[in-house]
Amino acid sequence: MSRPGVVIAGRLLLGLGLVLLWTLLHRVLGDHTIAGLGDIAVRLWEIAQNGVLLRDIGVTMLEAGAGLAVGGLAGFALPFLITRVPGFEAALRPFIAAAMGVPKLALAPLLILWFGIGLLSKVVFVALVVFFLLFFSTLAGIRGADPRLIAVARVLGLRELMLLREVMLPSTLPFVFASLKVALPRAISAAVVGEFIAADTGLGSYIQNAMSQADTVGVFTGVIVVTVLVVVVNAVLDHTQKRAMGWRHSAIGGF
C-alpha cells in the first residue's frame, strides 16, 4: 500500500475507534454526560434545516476571520517596522512580553463594556489573542535571516523593498505558517469564548444557551461543529502552505 493509502487507512481506523469509544462511553455514562452520536446527528440536521447552523457558523467565522486579519497583519507587519530602527526592538520587547502575559480572558468583560456585545468586541478580542503569536514568530523569522545573504543582496544593490520581498519574506514564511497553525484555531476559540460571555448569535452563544438549559445534545453539537471548523481551516492552511512554500521544496530538490 502506498504511503497516502496508509495515511488514509490509519485515519479511518482512528476515526472508527473514536466512534466506538464515544458509543461505549455514552452507554456507560448515560445521556446526561455523553450525548449519543445519533442524537447529535438529528440535532445537526434540525439546526441545518432551520438555518441556525449556517447563521451561527457565519457569525463565528466572521468574528474569527476579521480578528485574525487585524491582529495577524499587525503582528506580521510590526516586527518589520521596529527592526528598521536599531535598538528599538530590544527596548520594546519587554513591554510586548508584558502585554502578552496579560490574561486575555480577563479583558473580555472590559472589551464588551467598551465596544458592546456586537461584532467589534469579539473582533478586538480575537485580534489580541492572535497578535502575539504572529509577532514573535515573524520576529524570529527576521532574526533567522541569513546575514550573508542580506549582505550579498545589499552589495548587488537591492533596494529595501526588493530586499524585503526577495530575502526577508522568504525567511519569515516558515515561521509565519507555523504560527498560523496555532493562531487559526485560537482565533476560532477566542470568538467562541467571546460569544460565551455576551452574544445572541454564533456558535459560542448556541453552546452557552444549551448549557443554561442542561441540553447535553446541544452542547456536544456545538462543540463538534467548532471542532470540524478547526479541522477544515487547518486543511485549507496546509494546502495554502504547500503552494506558498513550493519554491522551497523545489529548491531543495534541485540542490
Provide the terminal-to-terminal Cα distance of the chain, rounded to the nearest Å.
30
pLDDT in tens, 90-107: 777 778 778 777 777 777
Helix and strand tally (H, E) in the chain? 12, 0
pTM > 0.85: yes or no: no
* 145 contacts 168 by C-beta, under 8 angstroms: yes
Assigned CATH for 35-254 = 1.10.3720.10
Question: CA–CA separation, 163 vs 161, rounded Å?
Answer: 5
Contact predicate 228/236, CB 8 Å:
no
pLDDT digits (tens, 9 = 90+) for 37-75: 888 899 999 999 998 899 999 999 999 999 999 998 998
Q: What is the mean pLDDT of residues 111-139?
A: 86
**199: how many CB neighbours lie within 10 A of its CB?**
26
Between residues 2 and 146, the one the model is more confident about: 146
